[in-house]
Amino acid sequence: MAIIVDASVALKWVIQEPDSAAAIQLVLDEALAAPEFLFVECANVLWTKVRRGVLSASAARVALAEIEATPIRTTSTRAQAAAAHVIAVELGQSAYDSLYLATAIAERSTLVTADAKFTAAALAHPVYQNSVRLLGAS
């Protein structure tokens, strides 16, 4: 069974941040999956970093290419859109973030995310609490 990862984890593979080592360890130790939306979300975050002067355009292109080269099985975004909407409404979180949790549930897996706010909301909900784990937490 593959672990579902979101953009907050994938970006830590290519940008040195807290818990980057834990994110890289997931690549080494686990089979990974994510909705195909992962790559668009990562591209957008990298674009934002270029726009803010945090990364050069060439560094962002390299970072995205490295994320794309990581062995991740992708799933259809469309297949989980309705479920993501339900989760978003129930948790008061974005449909974008909820898409990863919907995918984890559909795959009978666990979402690993570095998004503490989203994790807290999911852990507080009895239906979703067993389907999410904060990166770096045991």
User: What separation in angstroms does the CA of 70 have from each of 12, 33, 36, 41?
Assistant: 12, 10, 13, 15
**Confidence (pLDDT) at 138:** 58
pLDDT above 80: residue 75:
yes
Domain that includes residue 78, residue range:
3-134
- Give per-residue pLDDT as tens, 9-46: 999 999 999 999 999 999 999 999 999 999 999 999 99
CATH code of the domain covering residue 43: 3.40.50.1010
**How many domains does the chain fold into?**
1
| 49-64 residue pLDDT tens | 999 999 999 999 999 9
The Cβ-side half-sphere exposure at 124, using a 13 Å CA radius, reads 10
